[in-house]
Every structure is written in C-alpha cells, then in structure tokens.
Amino acid sequence: MGNHLLVTIECLRSDHVSGLGYHKKTTPFLDRLIEDGIAFQNAYSVSTWTAPSLLSILTSSYPLRYKGKMGKARANIAQVFEENGFNTFAFGSSRIGKLRSCRQGFQNLRNKDCKMSERSEGFGISPDLPHLSWIRDFWRNNFVIHRVDETSRETVARLLRALEGEEGPFFAWIHMNDPHRPYLVGKESLSVFQFSQFRANFAAKKLSPQQKKKNLTFRDRVKFHIGKSLANKETMRNMVDLYDREIRLADRAIGMLFEGLRKEGKLHDTTFYITADHGEGFMEHGLLGHGPGERPRLYNELLQVPLVVWNAENQHERIRENVSLIDLSPTICDFASLSTPSHFAGKTLRRFFNGRKSASDGEIFCESSTIGWQRFAPEKAIIAVISGDYKYIWKSKGKDELYNLKEDSGEKENILNERKDMASKLRVKIDKHLEEVRKRGTKEEKERIKKSLSDLGAVRNREVN
Ligand SMILES: [Zn+2]
C-alpha cells in the first residue's frame, strides 16, 4: 500500500539531466534521487508529444490501438487505485484534461468544471532576456501557438494544498509544464500577454496563401519570420540555455514537493515515479521542439527520458537496459501490490531489478503520426523498434531507416542498405507490432477488456467503447 506519486515533466530529455551525464548542473535535486533510488539510464517514451505519450503512460497502451483514436476511453491506472480504496488526484496542464483517458479515475477531476490547472491562458515572456526576443516572436508568429499553463511550482503548491490533512493512502499524478517552450524562465520574470493580443500578433504576420502553397520548410519559415537561420550555432546555444534554465525550475519544484510531503509526515510512506512525457529537439534532425510536426520523427532526442523510482526503503540501483514507459503503470501497480489489469500492454520493470537481465525483453516500440494533437492515423504512422544496439524506423510512406545506436548515437548514418540482414529481422518485429495494435479494438478485444475491468470492478462497462 502506501502512497504513490507519479511525476511527469514536460519535454525533459534524459541527456539534459546532470545525474545522467549532462555537463551542466541542471537537476541537483533529481540527481540525489538518481543516486539514492532506482534510476533507468535508457528509458524511452512511447511517442513524441504530450497527448499520446501521457496516454500510453497512464493506460499502458499504444497510441495506434483503436485505430489511433486516442479520445476513446481506455482504462487507466487511476481507476485501478480508486477501486482499491485510494484517494486519487491529478494536477497539471489543462490541455491534458481534454483527454478522457487521462481524466477518468481522478476524483478531483470529477467535477466537469474543474480544470487541471488554474491558469491556462496567456503568453509568457522573459523581459530580462531582450537579446532573445526573436525567439518569442518566432513562437508567437509561427504555426506553434502555445498557451502557457501554470509553472511547475504552482502545480506542486496546488497538489500539496489538496493533500493537507489527507488521511487515507493516495495515488497522485502531477504533470509539470516546465521546460515546455517557449521557455519562460520563471514566474518572477514573466510578463503575461492576454491571449487575444497574442492572436492578433499572429494574424498580422502569418504567411500569405501564396506563400503557404509553396509548402515552406521549417527552416524557410524561420527565415521568413525572423530573418535568422536556426543553423546559427549561437542561436541554438541560446535556445538550449533557456531550456536548461527551465529544467532547473522543474527540479526545484520536485524539491519543493519532497519538502512539502516531509512536513505533512507523508514522505516516508510515498513512492515517487519521476519521468518525462517525451524529449525535445534542437535541430539535430531538423526539428526545434517536439510533436508530430510537418514530418514525424522518432529520433532519440525526442524519445529518451529520465525514469527514477524512489522511496525511503529501496536500495539504489542503476539499470542500463532499454526500457519503455509503456511498462510504467504495471510497475506502479506492482509497487502498490495491486493486480495489473490484463489488458495493460506493459509489464512490471521489476524484472530488471537486482542486476537481472531478461533476454526476452529486448524490444522497445515507439509510435508517431503526421496528424493531430489527439489523433493517430495508422496509414500515416511511423514506428520505431529498438532492439539492443539497433534501431529501425518504419514509415508507412517508405524510406525506412536503420541505425547502430552504439556506434552512431546521433542517428546520422542510415545503414539500411549495409545491414539488410538486421533490417529485415527488425522489420518482422514491426509487422508483428502493427498486427498486434490492429487486432486491438476488435469486438473480441473489447469483450476481453470489459471482463478484465469487471474483474477489477473498476469501471462501468459503458466507459469502454
Ligand atoms: Zn509534452
């Protein structure tokens, strides 16, 4: 039993965590947990933007399941805890609350007027960084309209308020918005524009229909809007610097969370699971930011995230095997000694503990698609399989890629033609994965899920479509 607290951090790529090898001291607090708890060196998110990534964490299912319809209700881990008598809480971005599978089971979200965050409109800038004003202008003027939610610190404060005086065991999920672009660098240095003004700016400077027809590339758009090239090294250094400063804010918020629970006398009864929804690109493969974008990508800067499990009793362990966040919910169930619903696609990561190696668990699958925030289209999908040192990226439109991650961690040299043997071996695994996700969502599958849920008694049948 005990309390269980899942922390997901926006856009935090693992190679920017100091405790996992980054050269800047970005995460002093998380580093202590990495040294003290169970840290996974090579954890992969399932997808590259918020909605499908969080969906796969909370429901232990792949986005492509149900023909990629992410809006369909899928049973999540909060329902498992709720059914077992835990109080359940979720705090974070209001955008996430739009996904039914992320809302259900959380008691504090039951009121439909209750947003996950108290502040969800406005656009933050950092007036102390005038030399970087073009970056803000870029986000504002380009196709990435970003509404800024509350800071991680504010989100933590709300969770702590909710937990004050809480008697029974709880399962809580907190989603921290730092370091999501446009890299605000702290509430204290923010000016907040009204959303309407922001939109007016966007409308005044957008591309003309003729220019849109030219189908400009991302780089062309940057040049058009701000007259600078993203290939400029100084520009990118500045951007990374802002991102790193945001990471530091998220790290402080984790520290604040620990301190708050210590004061409430709950720290020693709580197991923490700290990870990120996906990574962030800095033009390594032509993408600044993350998401489905103009062409979907599944490179490691977008997929590799930290994963740390900490409680007062566990021994320190550093696990170097490739692991997937599809396994996180089953792991949390395991720590809480609760049965894992049989339709969860993942299984507990405990199989890697105590130096154990599991030969049958070598494959990681990641998915992306070209459309929509909440939709996946199998006919427009790309899927990556990582097996040992190799990564194969299959694209529904062809032009597949193969990389040796050990020799080429930057994924620059496509060796598909040189290693046809490995390519066809991994292609078989992709086919199997596709077959598996296509099979799901069938009538038999739905019946199986209904049964699994009624065994748990967790969900009313009508919630499974
Ligand atoms: Zn995200």
**184-225 per-position pLDDT tens digit:** 554 333 333 223 333 344 344 555 666 665 555 545 554 554
pLDDT tens digits, one per residue of 431-464: 999 888 777 655 665 666 666 656 655 443 333 3
Average model confidence (pLDDT) across the chain: 79
pLDDT given for residue 66 in this prediction: 74
The pLDDT-based confidence of 289 (bands split at 50, 70, 90) is confident
Question: Which pair of structure tokens corresponds to residue 458?
Answer: 């967790």
The whole-model pTM stands at: 0.84
Q: 278 C-alpha to center of ligand 1: Å?
A: 6
pLDDT given for residue 191 in this prediction: 32
Is the CA virtual torsion 241, 247, 253, 259 positive or negative? Answer: negative
Q: 428 C-alpha to center of ligand 1: Å?
A: 30
Q: 444 C-alpha to center of ligand 1: Å?
A: 33
Radius of gyration of the chain (CA): 22
pLDDT given for residue 166 in this prediction: 86
Q: 239 C-alpha to center of ligand 1: Å?
A: 18
CA dihedral angle for residue 108, residue 273, residue 245, residue 96, rounded to 10 degrees = -40
Neighbours of ion ligand 1 (CB under 5 A): 10, 50, 277
Question: Which pair of structure tokens corresponds to residue 27?
Answer: 């995460």
Domain-wise residue ranges, the chain? 3-463
pLDDT tens digits, one per residue of 105-143: 888 876 554 455 544 333 333 334 444 455 555 555 443
Rounded distance between C-alpha atoms, residue 236 and residue 252, angstroms: 25
Lowest-pLDDT range, 78-87, 225-234, 297-306? 225-234
Q: 360 C-alpha to center of ligand 1: Å?
A: 30
Instruction: From 46, 14, 10, select the one nearest 30 (Cα to Cα).
Output: 14
Q: DSSP letter for 231, please.
A: T
Residue 281 parent element (H or E): strand 281-282
Q: 165 C-alpha to center of ligand 1: Å?
A: 31
Strands 3-9 and 270-276: parallel
pLDDT given for residue 437 in this prediction: 78
Q: Are 189 and 128 in contact (CB under 8 A)?
A: yes
Question: Which pair of structure tokens corresponds to residue 222?
Answer: 């940057």
Q: 108 C-alpha to center of ligand 1: Å?
A: 22
pLDDT given for residue 319 in this prediction: 94
CATH architecture of the region 3-463 = 3-Layer(aba) Sandwich (3.40)
Strands 123-125 and 191-193: antiparallel
Strands 123-125 and 38-44: unpaired
pLDDT given for residue 376 in this prediction: 74
